[in-house]
Amino acid sequence: MNWQYRHTVLLACLLAFFVTYFARLAISPVVPFITEDFTVSNTAIGVALSGMWLAYGISQFPSGILADRYGERRIILIAVGGTTAMSLLLAFAPTYGSFLLVAVLLGLVAGLHYAVATTLLSRTFENIGTAIGFHSVGGPLAGLIAPVAAAWVGVRYGWRPAVALAAVVGVPIFVYFAWRVRPTEPRRPDQPMRDRLRLGPLVEMLSRPAIILPLIIAVVGTYVVQGVMSFLPTFLVDFHGYSAGFAGAVFSAFFITRAVAQIGLGRLSDRFGRDAAIGGAMACGALGLAATVTLPTGPGVLAGVLLAGVGSSFFSAIDPRFMDALGDAERGAGFGLVRTVYAVLGSAGSVGVGLTADLFGWGVSFALLGGLFGVAFFVLAGNAALRTGY
């Protein structure tokens, strides 16, 4: 392959996504240390994590509007720089209340990246499924490194240095993106912001048949993924009795699988259709989460986690489905709006899983997540069988 400028843009966007993901994932492996330090419950930490993911989702829509007005490059730099700064502040949070506040701010700045980068790539590549699949590898790559690094640092030095690791990787990637990516022309530099926020056109966009069904699937899938990413290491320690180090390694295996599967699903969605790729991912996720609860042995649990990783990679197929349904002029704010809706509603997965675990135990909590993946699969299968046009 001859290296071209568009490949530089793809690499820079992947690395930027890596930073925003790393900062959020570095928290999960040290949740037990945080709950002990602040003397709070799993539900309380779930509230903080859900607040972070809620803020992450909320900022998706305005990120698209801001990119249309100021250009994608500037907004992505704000996302990377802001994520780096908030990670440092989170490490110095003196109380649970301040931890909660900074976690929400971390979600806000980190959420400025994904929709904007996806729009930039849609302007740069023709096979957007493949490009989005490669871009999405930044998340699993962070998942490969962050859990092991954070767990190792957390055990030896405490949760605060573990959370601060994101700043170590954030600074050089910020510099690289600023150096290698050229300024991008804004699409709507003169349009007033209030014109983009009128309720009628937004409701009309979300209610389109080509958007409403995948939006429901995305909400369900995001809820499951948020719950798994927030508590999988804790589930492995408390439910199965594994060590924190082993749980961190399995968590990394989860993200290795996601990295490979997202590229594959992106390509499959370009070749065989979006819904076939999404449905296959959902089926794998349902089987995998069921296995993590019912299989008692280490190899069985690992196999279940790997299948759950395939299920959690559905984004690289469902995001191109949304882009296909949006016109070129709509993709900035339109895709940001879609991302906000499913990320905001799906962010309840963290607090939902934490609350269910406190009330009924980890087994019930993760079994319910597998059931939700199964429901999403059957909805897609029924839609294909009935040919509803959604």
Question: Could you report the per-residue pLDDT of 126-170, keeping only the tens digit for each?
Answer: 777 778 878 888 877 887 788 788 888 988 998 999 999 999 999
pLDDT above 90 for 16? yes
DSSP conformation letters of 69-84? HH-HHHHHHHHHHHHH
Average pLDDT over residues 174-183: 92
255: nearest Cα among 380, 168, 179, 146: 146
Q: What angle do CA 30, 42, 51 make, to 5 degrees?
A: 85
**C-beta separation of 181 from 124 below 8 A:** no
Predicted confidence at residue 161, as pLDDT, reads 93
Q: How far apart are CA 24 and CA 41, in angstroms?
A: 19
> Would the CA dihedral through 241, 247, 251, 252 be positive or negative?
negative
User: Would you list the domain boundaries of the chain?
Assistant: 5-180+198-386
> Would the CA dihedral through 69, 212, 230, 249 be positive or negative?
negative
Average pLDDT over residues 294-319: 87
Predicted confidence at residue 190, as pLDDT, reads 64
Question: Chain centroid to CA 368: how far?
Answer: 20
SS3 sequence, 44-68? HHHHHHHHHHHHHHHCHHHHHHHHH
Q: Looking at residue 173, what DSSP letter applies?
A: H
User: Which superfamily, per CATH, for 5-180+198-386?
Assistant: MFS general substrate transporter like domains (1.20.1250.20)
Predicted confidence at residue 40, as pLDDT, reads 85
Average pLDDT over residues 214-221: 93
Q: Which residue has the tokens 């990787």?
A: 169
Q: Other CB atoms closer than 10 Å to residue 158's CB: what's the count?
A: 15
Predicted confidence at residue 268, as pLDDT, reads 85
- Distances in whole angstroms, Cα of residue 175 to Cα of each of 15, 80, 207, 266: 11, 10, 41, 29
Average pLDDT over residues 89-110: 93
Per-residue model confidence as pLDDT tens digits over 317-372 = 898 888 887 776 666 667 778 888 888 888 788 788 888 988 899 999 999 999 99
pLDDT above 90 for 55? no
Average pLDDT over residues 103-114: 93
Considering only residues 123 and 253, tell me which one the structure prediction assigns the higher pLDDT.
253
pLDDT band at 208 (very low <50, low <70, confident <90, very high): confident
Q: Which residues contact 36 (CB under 8 A, 6 or more apart)?
A: none
pLDDT above 60 for 35? yes
